[in-house]
Amino acid sequence: MLCFILNLILQIPYNILIAVIIGVTNVIPFFGPIIGAVPCIMILIIVDPWSALRFAVLVLALQQFDGNILGPKILGDSTGLSAIWVLVSIVVCGGLFGFPGMLLGVPTFAVLYALVQEWVNHRLKEKGIDGDGNPLLPPREVSGDDESDL
């Protein structure tokens, strides 16, 4: 929506088409904005080169705003993955499954990461260690005759 509104303000032709392409490809972390901007700029170069230049500057500014301010504010650490794991999942799943792999790679990897983390924490708990590597405290025994235990 933000791209569409800014396209209207800057009077860029085919603003609905361009905003939809940018919105769909922006779902892909890291590479999505580049993947979406290239065909849009090529379309605009054919129609109006000055619009293409305005759009290139707009996309650069919009992606900086989205990546550094808006994205972290909205998403936070919702996936629980570090940036390197996000990048690895995009590259690996994109290489194996193409565009659908780029879209579904990060959520799939986040689920697998959570399952493995849960399994490892369960195994550590069986050995008397918590998830951070600290020993677990033995449970306190409650005796029936002492009121301080209540």
Classify residue 28 by its DSSP letter: S
Rounded to whole angstroms, the Cα distance separating 115 from 90 reads 19
**Residue 13, token pair as written in the block:** 């032709």
Cα 16 to Cα 19: distance, rounded to the nearest angstrom:
5
Contact 86, 71 (CB under 8 A): no
Burial class (CB in 10 A: 0-12, 13-18, 19+), 12: buried
Q: pLDDT tens, 80-122?
A: 777 778 778 888 998 999 989 988 888 898 899 889 999 998 8
pLDDT of residue 137: 75
pLDDT of residue 75: 47
Q: What is the pLDDT of residue 112?
A: 92
Among residues 111, 131, 132, the alpha carbon closest in space to that of 123 is found at: 131
State how far the Cα of 123 lies from the Cα of 99, in Å rounded to an integer.
36
d(CA 107, CA 33): 18
pLDDT 10s digits, 1-58: 888 999 999 999 999 999 999 989 888 777 788 899 999 999 999 999 999 999 999 9
